Amino acid sequence: MRYKLLTAALAATAALQFAGPAAAADLEVIHWWTSKGESAAVSQFAKAFDNDGHGDKWVDSAVALGETARSTVMQRVLGGDPPGAAQFNPGRQYEELISGGKLLDLTDVATAGKWDEVIRPKAIGSACLVDGHWWCVPVNIHSNYWAWYSKPVFEKAGVPEPKSLADFIAAAPKIKEAGLIPFAIGGDGNGWQIQLLFQDMVTEALGVAKRDEMYTKKSAEIAGGPEMKGVFTQLRTLKQFTDNGYANRNWNDTTNLVITGKAGLQVMGDWARGEFAAAGMTGVKDFGCMIGLNEDKPVISTDGDIIVFFKQDNPDVEAAQKRLAALLISPEVQVAFNNAKGSMPVRGDVDMSTADPCMQKSLKAVENPSNIVTATNRFITENTNQQINELVSQYFADDSMTADDATAKFSTIIGNSD
């Protein structure tokens, strides 16, 4: 109902600019791409949609912070005023929207565009494919599983650059002796950075198959097993190598410790390249990037962003929504968007030769299906996710909690997850 108001309000402007057919529509898109680089990326989408030849118009509703943007979307849905489209992370954040019948079924667009063939890896497509129907469009892949290190720090400490987490742990005491922070991490946002590290270590320790089994079967047994205890023990070891300023530090400031040569290594998703680039540094040359926690066993997690479309009672709008859905996945838009965003495209048949060396590593790795790790969020709800956040950050902060306690608690969380 409000949508009509908006359409009416903007119709005049639209009519002046485009002498398009009557079926043209304005689509409001809620997303949290608000930083400078993200802005450049999202405007690739917007530009393409505005110029799709139908007179459509992208109405940009940016709301910083994923949880804030998602809350806004949910509240709008509840108020009967959903936006035309919205950004989500692949996972279970939107499953209630699907079961509640709030989302537009994109299956016909997907069939026409042969999404099941072009989208790779399969895991990223499966985030949108529920019960044989497509409910969203994956737009990019961000892998959480990266480690970034400062070359000067390792040089100063007189240790070789690491090839794995084990290498790093061996080298860390030397870095500490050199008066530097071996391991950089931040504790903001309920400790999500710690969980990111933790999930990396879980995948490394359990192996992909066992990890997937633990999450899909909610196996308290695996979650309470010796490998998990090993992960918690290793986490405690890493804690010894961090500084006491980590509390509530955001990832940008954490990355900056590596950029300025104050800290040795940080485990963070591939978006951290953005901070290095903003500081004028190029990957491999000025800093090191390690896929996963072991260069010999690269892993790519299928995190990233997807776009959902909300059911509207207007066929014109629905047509426009489907036009946008098709556009988002088209090769030209994929290249333009992902080059600007610094993420990987969801299809392999595009030219990404201009990407930086770290990204090239990533693009190579993603082509091998055995390197692919399904995003944790696909298995667990936000509720469980936050419980894990709390557990690992509490364990990280509180040295009196033993690895056994933590393993037991983790086992309970997984066993009770929904």
Partner 1 sequence: MTAGQITAIQPVQEGQDQAGAGPFGPKPRRISAGRIGLYAFLVVAALFFLIPVYIMIVTSLKGMPEIRLGHLFNLPGEPTFQPWADAWLHACTGRDCNGLSPGFYNSVKITLPSVVISIICASVNGYALTFWPYRGANLLFGLLVFGAFVPYQVVIYPLIIGLSSVGLFASLPGIIIVHTIFGMPILTLLFRNFYAAIPVELFKAARVDGAGFWRIFFHIMLPMSVPITVVAVILQVTGIWNDFLFGIVFAGRPNWPMTVQLNNIVNTTTGVREYNVNMAATILTAAVPLIIYFVSGRWFVRGIAAGAVKG
Partner 2 sequence: MILVAVGVFVIGIGFSVLWSFTSSKLFPTYDFVGLAQYRRLWADSRWLVSVNNIWFFGLMSITCNMVFGYLLAVFMDQRIRQEDLFRSIFLYPFAMSLIVTGLVWQWVLDPNLGLQAALRNLGWSSFSFAPLVDADTALYALVVAGIWQGSGVTMAILLAGLRGVDEEIWKAARVDGIPTWRTHMSIVAPMMKGAFATAFVLQCVSVVRVYDLVIAMTGGGPGIATSMPAVYVIQLITVRQNVGQGMAAATMMLLPVLVVLAFGGILLWRRNREASA
Count how many Cα atoms sit within 13 Å of the Cα of residue 169 in the half-sphere of its side chain: 14
Q: CA geometry: angle at 39 spanning 33 and 45, to 5°? A: 90
Report the distance separating Cα 229 and Cα 60, nearest Å.
46
* Among partner 2, partner 1, none, residue 275 binds (CB under 5-8 Å by kind): partner 1
The answer to the question of residue 245 lying near partner 2 (CB under 8 A) is yes
What's the first-to-final CA gap in the chain, in angstroms? 35
Q: Which is nearer to partner 1, 240 or 260 (CB)?
A: 260
Helix (H) or strand (E) segment spanning residue 26: strand 26-31
**Helix, strand, coil % in the chain, rounded to nearest 5:** 55, 15, 30
With CB under 8 A as the contact rule, the residue among 250, 370, 383, 416 that binds partner 1 is: 250
How far apart, in Å, are the Cα atoms of 284 and each of 62, 176, 273, 293?
33, 23, 11, 16
Report the distance separating Cα 309 and Cα 87, nearest Å.
9
Size of the chain, expressed as the number of residues it contains: 418
The least distance separating partner 1 from the CB of residue 281, rounded to whole angstroms, comes to: 11
Binders of partner 2 among residues 74 to 93 (CB under 8 A) are 74, 77-78, 93
* Among partner 1, partner 2, none, residue 282 binds (CB under 5-8 Å by kind): none
* Among partner 1, partner 2, none, residue 33 binds (CB under 5-8 Å by kind): partner 1
The answer to the question of residue 32 lying near partner 1 (CB under 8 A) is yes
**In this structure, how many other beta carbons lie within 10 angstroms of the beta carbon of residue 397?**
14
Binders of partner 1 among residues 146 to 205 (CB under 8 A) are none
Query: x/- site string to partner 2, residues 43 to 72, per CB under 8 A?
Result: ------------------------xx-xx-
What residues make contact with partner 1 under the rule CB under 8 A?
Answer: 1-2, 5-6, 9, 28, 31-39, 42-43, 46, 58-66, 68, 72, 75-76, 78-81, 142, 250-252, 256, 259-260, 262, 269, 271, 274-275, 277-279
What residues make contact with partner 2 under the rule CB under 8 A?
Answer: 67-68, 70-71, 74, 77-78, 93, 96-97, 100, 181, 187-191, 243-250, 257, 262, 381-383, 385-386, 390, 393-398
